[in-house]
Amino acid sequence: MQHKIPVSQLGPQGEIMAHAIEACVHCGFCLPACPTYTVLGEEMDSPRGRIFLMKEVLEGGLNLEEATPYLDKCLGCVGCVTACPSGVAYGELISTFRGWSEPKRQRTPFQKVFRMAIQETLPYPSRFRTAATLGKLGKLMQPVLPQFLQAPLNLLPDELPMAQPLPEVIPAEGARRAKVAFLAGCAQQVLQPNFNWATLRVLAKNGVEVVIPKGQGCCGALSMHTGERERALGFARNNLEAFPPDVDAIITNAAGCGSGLKEYHILFHGEPESALADGFVKKVKDVSVFLAELGLKEPPALKQPLKVAYHDACHLAHAQGVRAEPRKLLKSIPGVELLEIAEGELCCGSAGTYNLEQPAIAATLGERKARNIIATGARLIVTGNIGCFTQIQTHLRKLGKEIPVMHTLELLDKAYSG
C-alpha cells in the first residue's frame, strides 16, 4: 500500500512502521482472524482498518485522538499475522506505533493513574504481591466498588499462594544434556508459583541444568505493548546484562514474556545495543520448544486416560509460531487424549493488561472461549501462559464449570511424579 509517511523525520521507529504499512495490500484476509472485528464488525476495529488509521495519523491526515479509541481496542494478539499472506509485521507496527504515540497522547488524570498503577506494580513481583493482598481486601468490598475496579479484582485468586523464592541454580538430574538460563516472570511468580517449580523439575528430570540469573527483572513486554517504550528499554537493558552468555538457551514458560524477549531486536532497532539484542533473541525459546527439540524423556502412563484440551496462547501460536511442540509434549504422556478447541486461533481476551483496560470486549471473548472449551468435553485444560490461565479459569467459573486449568509443564510434572 502506498503511503506518504515522513520516514526520515520519524527515525528508526518510522522505518519499522512504514515497512509494515507498505506490505499491507488491504486484501482483508485478516478480518476473520481478528477478535475485535469478529465481535464488533467494524472496519476500524480490524487489522487492515487500524493499519489505515495508523498510516493516516503518521501522514498527518488524521488526529491521533480520533484514531486512538480504535487502536486501543487492539488486543495485540497478532492473530492477523498468522492469517496475513503478504507478511505484514503487524505486531511490530502496533507496538512501535504505541511507543511513538504515547508521549503525544492527552490522557485524563484517571487514565494516567490507572496506567501508572499497572506499570508500577505488575512487573515487580513484590509490589504485585502487596497489591494483590490489598486486592483480597478489595474483594470483600467488591459489591460497592466502581466498575473500573471490578475487572482486576475478578482476576485475583481467593487465596494467594505463599512466596517461594527460586534458587540460583538447579542442577541436572543424571548426565547433563544442556545448560539454560530461566526467566522467572512477574505476576506468574505471585499468582501461580507452581508454574515455575514444575518447569524447573521437568527440566532437571530431562538432564537440564538451569540457572536463574539473580539480576533479572520483567521482560518489558507489558510496557512495550502499551507504548511505554522508555520503561521497556530499561527492563530490556537490565536483562541483556543479567543473562549469562554461556548458556544453550534462554527459557521462558510464559508466552507473553517469550514473545516480549523475542521482540528485543525491534525495541533496540537503531540503538547501540542492537547487535547484543540480536544475539540474545536468537537464544530465547519457550520451554515447550526447548524440550521438544531436546527430546523428552518419556513420562510414565497416567493411571487412567484423560481428555485434555490444549489452548493456544496467542503469544505462543501467533507471535512465536509455537503450536506443534506443546501438543507433541502432551501427546507423549501415555493416556492423554488431546482435543482441539473450536475457534482455537481466536484470542481469549486476556492479552496482557487488556482485560484491565478493555474489560467489556475481554469478557465477551473470555466467555466465547470458555463456551468453546466446554464444548470439547475435556476434563482438563492446558495452556502455556499465565494470562490465558487466569482468564479461562475466571470465565469457566462464571459459566458454572469448574474444569481444572494447568500449565503444560504442570501436567508433564504431574505425569513424572505419577
Partner 1 sequence: MSLSANPAGLLADLARALPQERLLSQPAQLTPYESDALTAFRARPCAVVLPETSQEVLETVRLCAKHQVPFLARGSGTSLSGGSLPIDGGVVIGLNRLNKLLKLDPQERIAVVQPGFINLHVSNAAAPYGLYYAPDPSSQPVSTIGGNLAFNSGGAHCLKYGMTSNHVLGAKVVLPTGEVVELGGESLEGLGPDWLGLFVGSEGLMGIALEIRLRLLPKPEKYHTLLAAYDSLGKAGEAVAAVVASGLLPGAMEIMDSLAIEAAEAAVHAGYPMEARALLIVELEGETPQVEAEAKYLSEVIAQSGPYEVRVAKDNDERMRIWKGRKAAFSAVGRLSPDYIVQDGVVPRSKLGQALSEIERLSHQHGLRVANVFHAGDGNLHPLILYDGKIAGELERGEVLAGEILKMCVALGGTITGEHGVGMEKKEYMPEMFTPQDLEAMHRIHRSVDPDELSNRGKMFPSGEAPALSHGAHPLEQAGVISRE
* Interface contacts to partner 1, rule CB under 8 A: 1-2, 22-29, 31-32, 41-44, 46, 48-50, 52-53, 56, 62, 66-67, 69-70, 84-88
Minimum CB distance to partner 1 smaller for 29 or for 416: 29
CB 313 within 8 A of CB 385: yes
For 69, the grid coordinates are 479509541
Q: Which is nearer to partner 1, 5 or 208 (CB)?
A: 5
Q: Which is nearer to partner 1, 55 or 201 (CB)?
A: 55
Report the DSSP beta bridge partners of residue 407: 383
Question: What letters, b where the CB count within 10 A reaches 16 and e where it falls short, cover 37-49?
Answer: bbbbeeebbbbbb
Return left, alpha or beta for 374; rule: phi > 0 is left, psi -120 to 50 is alpha, else beta: alpha
Smallest distance, partner 1 to C-beta of residue 289, A: 17
CB of 364 to partner 1, least distance (A): 15
Strand, helix or coil at 228?
coil
Residue whose CB is less far from partner 1, 89 or 118:
89
Q: List Cβ neighbours of 157 (8 Å cut-off, separation of 6 or more).
A: 191
Between the alpha carbon of residue 381 and those of residues 234, 302, 377, 388, the distances in Å are 36, 16, 10, 11
For residue 7, the minimal CB distance to partner 1 (Å) is 11
Shortest distance, position 261 Cβ to partner 1, whole Å:
24
* Of residues 41 and 305, the one with the C-beta less far from partner 1: 41
Distance CA 269, CA 12 (A): 6
Cβ 37 to partner 1 shortest distance, Å: 9
Q: Which is nearer to partner 1, 28 or 335 (CB)?
A: 28
Among 292, 279, 207, smallest CA distance to 250 is for 279
Min dist. Cβ of residue 375 to partner 1 (A): 14
DSSP string, 108-172: -HHHHHHHHHHHHHTT-HHHHHHHHHHHHHHHHHGGGS-HHHHHHHHTS-SSPPPP-PPPSEEPP
Comparing CB distances to partner 1, the nearer of 71 and 202 is 71
Least Cβ distance, residue 56 to partner 1 (angstroms):
5
Count, residues in the chain:
418
- Residue 189 is classified by DSSP as H
Q: How far apart are CA 9 and CA 18, in angstroms?
A: 12
- Beta 284-286 vs 249-252: how paired, if at all? parallel
Closer CB to partner 1, 60 or 404, in the complex: 60
Task: For residues 121 and 214, give the distance between their C-alpha atoms in angstroms, rounded to a whole number.
Answer: 19
What is the C-alpha to C-alpha distance for residues 97 and 356, in angstroms, rounded to an integer? 21
Minimum CB–partner distance for residue 3 and partner 1 (Å): 9
Q: How far is the CB of 418 from partner 1 (least distance, A)?
A: 35
Q: Which of 190, 187, 252 minimizes the C-alpha distance to 222?
A: 187
Q: How far is the CB of 221 from partner 1 (least distance, A)?
A: 27
Locate cell 468490598: which residue? 141
